[in-house]
Structure 1
């Protein structure tokens, strides 16, 4: 089968004259036809009939709706690929920066813990030294009685 997004519905475009005379109810077609008439692309008297042969110069630059040339499709595909590549590189760089920051934070945390442990051990040693000094001082003051 296939999902709805991949199914292509052919675009049935009516002539501008049909849209202007009310034979079509699509507002987009009516707008497009009025735009053509305003911009001078349609002659109101001749009913939009273009003689065979080369198209007028003013029509060459107007893109056909919902249609891209093969070159334009390639350009759009290349641009899309480039955007995706740039986005991927930026995402990788951001991930790298986040990991680097996490490593630095962890290193700082470990250094802080190491420093706190060292300070705690130093305090414990000082307390032990004080106790030992107090015990020695107490032994000196006490007279030895037998």
Structure 2
């Protein structure tokens, strides 16, 4: 079944799987990332142009809200219940907060990029502006430029 034919739960699962594994949201085979958080320019398998991918601060926002914030309660409990010395927080609390947040960034970014592609997400009324900006970025001539 082609990605464009997916509906409902199957569509959501496609987005989830492609994002979690960092795979192309169109073909499901090519790698989405060329480095840790750097999205490819094009899919090496199907040639999908990733110009549409603009998750901006979304991965950091979701990582902080759904990972760091809940873990903060654990760190506060650690402080209140055990009253450890400051260096113990360096050994326990800092890695407990940083490692999961950083580990989740790529899957979250992949999920957002896949979601943008599958749902054809774009700000309302910006089709012409996007076309103009991307043409300039690629050095192409844009109608109406002087």
TM bin (shorter chain): under 0.3
More helix by share: 1
> Normalized against structure 2, the TM-score is what?
0.23
Compare CA radii of gyration and give the structure with the larger one.
Answer: 1
Q: Which has the higher contact order (CA 8 A, sep 6+)?
A: 2
